[in-house]
Amino acid sequence: MQAMVEQKVYEMARAVEESVDDELHRLEKMDGDELEDIRRRRLEAMKSSQDARKSALERGHGVVNDLDDEKAFFEKMKGEDKMIVHFYRNSSWPCEVMDKHLEVVASKHTEALVCRINAEKSPFLTEKLKIWMLPTLCLVRNTKVVDYIVGFDDVGGTDDFPTEHLRLVLASKGVITYEGGDNDVDANPRRGKKAMNVIDKSSIRRGAKMALNSDDESSDFD
């Protein structure tokens, strides 16, 4: 997995470098009026981007939002283009690790609304979305669930993955815009503890407290 991510980052860097070279060659051939038109359009794009960012921050983007219950989940989802929802459990080390990474994701990517909801207190939603392992990230586009990140398998299979890996995976799934390289902030705790929690599905149906088992990281329901 590490080699695959490194190769992806390298490919992205090469693509960006080639794109910059092409743009420089194009600019060298332009006259004054064309350059002024480009400058005007870029200023307009910057203003539009700033206005969009301001609106997003007012709606809770930029931080991780705690959802109190299932009703809050559906209310928060309305009008959002991209949404990342962490289904977590209190006092769970793997969920704490994911929370730390999501704080970075939220601050870096205001194009997506980042939330978290206690799976134990949301039995209906947890079963409806077929959440069976914690942590699980539910990825939403235009009020539709489009994908999941279940446990840590997609980011390397351990709890000491760098935030860069999570950002690349989220970008590949279309919920954030990221091409790699901007990895100045890393929430990797670099400590080894057991990696995932598996939910007892029968307890979800009863709406009772979930029984969680962290002894088998790859357990599924029988």
Predicted local confidence at residue 48, as pLDDT? 60
Half-sphere exposure for 21 (CA within 13 Å, toward CB): 6
Give the domain ranges of the chain. 61-213
* CA–CA dist 77, 69 (Å, integer): 13
Strand partners for 147: 139
Predicted local confidence at residue 131, as pLDDT? 96
Q: Tokens 């969680």 identify what position?
A: 212
pTM value > 0.75:
no
Q: Tokens 């970075």 identify what position?
A: 104
Predicted local confidence at residue 36, as pLDDT? 75
CATH topology for the 61-213 domain: Glutaredoxin (3.40.30)
Q: Provide the token pair at 14.
A: 């090469």
Predicted local confidence at residue 40, as pLDDT? 73
| Cα 184–Cα 171–Cα 18 angle in degrees, nearest 5 | 75
88 touches 82 (CB < 8 A)? no
Q: Provide the token pair at 106.
A: 């939220």
CA 23 to the chain's CA centroid: 30
* CA–CA dist 168, 165 (Å, integer): 5
Predicted local confidence at residue 192, as pLDDT? 44
* CA–CA dist 105, 167 (Å, integer): 7
Predicted local confidence at residue 216, as pLDDT? 33
Residues of the chain with pLDDT under 50: 191-195, 199-222
Predicted local confidence at residue 212, as pLDDT? 34
Angular region, 126: left φ>0, alpha ψ -120 to 50, beta rest: alpha
Phi, psi for 212 (deg, rounded to 5)? -115, 140
